[in-house]
Structure 1
Amino acid sequence: MMTTAKPLGDTTAGAMFRGAIVPSAVVAVISVVLSVLAAGTTGLWGSLLGVALVLTFFGLSLVVLGATRAADPLLVLMVALALYGAKVVGLFVAFILINAADLVDDPFDRTALGITVIVCTLTWTVGEIVGATRRREPLYDLGEASP
């Protein structure tokens, strides 16, 4: 029987994903509930959009990094930096498009969207760091020490 490898599997990227998804989901639920209580339906939609943006951008980044794990470390670093830049630009473009389409404040509450993106991003980032740290996989090998 032949099995296919999962994109993240038992890799550092997989450990980072597992370390980030649960706390981010908890924070996302709390953000949605608080947004509904504070702003009603527009808070719900704004918060859900914020959760979707964070999960999409950060989840796809880990999938891409997991797929490049066998490549040259310098290439992986360049991919990681490019992904970071793409996330920043992508979020900027998403916010510009949402604003240009006049979707801010109806149906998406501006405050709920912004706060949700910020707290979910911070939670995801801390979760990634914790997951990678618990993996305890060396980032580089110094090779043999010369006498």
Structure 2
Amino acid sequence: MSVPAAVGPPNPFAAMTRTAFIPTLLVGPIAIAIAFFAGGGRAAGGAALGYAVTIAFFLLGMIVMNRFAANTPPLLFMATALAVFFGQLIFLLLVILFLQNADWLDGRAFGLTALAVALVWQIFQVVGYLRTRRLVFDEPTTPASSPSEASPRHTA
């Protein structure tokens, strides 16, 4: 007779990554095609680099969150998620600032593609998180008594 494994809360990172990754994969080729038709090969290259850099940042953020925040209490989880999110945005801003004077790169295509990919990733990441139905409060340590046990009725 085997003992069934305890079923815990679903891993929100797998759900968020699955939900965000597919729509984000679709945005990149569309942005690259628009950049190509609007500005040529240099713009398409900038869009492709913006796409690749942004996806790498957000996937890395999910890996960091899965590694360090998977089993944290709900309030600490949200604080960690916000810290990782702001860290990702700051790092992406630093990359954009570093590449702003690159002659070989169409900065407008890079930036607009990075912005589109980041927005799509964040929107669908939130959708994936909401679908996990993760608690946003700590579970009570003692079971609450039912109303009938808390105040017995007196009959006359």
Q: Could you tell me the TM-score, scaled by structure 2's length? A: 0.75
1:122, 1:116 → 2: CA distance?
Answer: 10
1:44, 1:83 → 2: CA distance?
Answer: 29
In the alignment, structure 1 segments of 5+ residues that lack a partner are: 1-9
Quote the offset at 1:32 in angstroms: 0.7
Please give the secondary structure, in 2, of the residue aligned with 1:116.
Answer: helix
Quote the offset at 1:89 in angstroms: 1.7
Q: CA RMSD in A?
A: 2.0
Contact 2:47 2:113 in 1 (8 A): yes
| 1:46 equivalent in alignment to 2:46 | yes
Please give the secondary structure, in 1, of the residue aligned with 2:71.
Answer: coil
Q: CA, structure 1 residues 139+75, in 2 after alignment: closer, same or farther (shift >3 Å)? A: closer
| 1:35 equivalent in alignment to 2:35 | yes
Q: How many residues align?
A: 134
| 1:87 equivalent in alignment to 2:88 | yes
In the alignment, structure 2 segments of 5+ residues that lack a partner are: 1-9, 151-156
Counterpart for residue 112 of structure 1 = 109
Counterpart for residue 20 of structure 2 = 20
Greater relative contact order: 1 or 2 (C-alpha under 8 angstroms, separation 6 or more)? 1
Q: CA, structure 1 residues 75+56, in 2 after alignment: closer, same or farther (shift >3 Å)? A: same
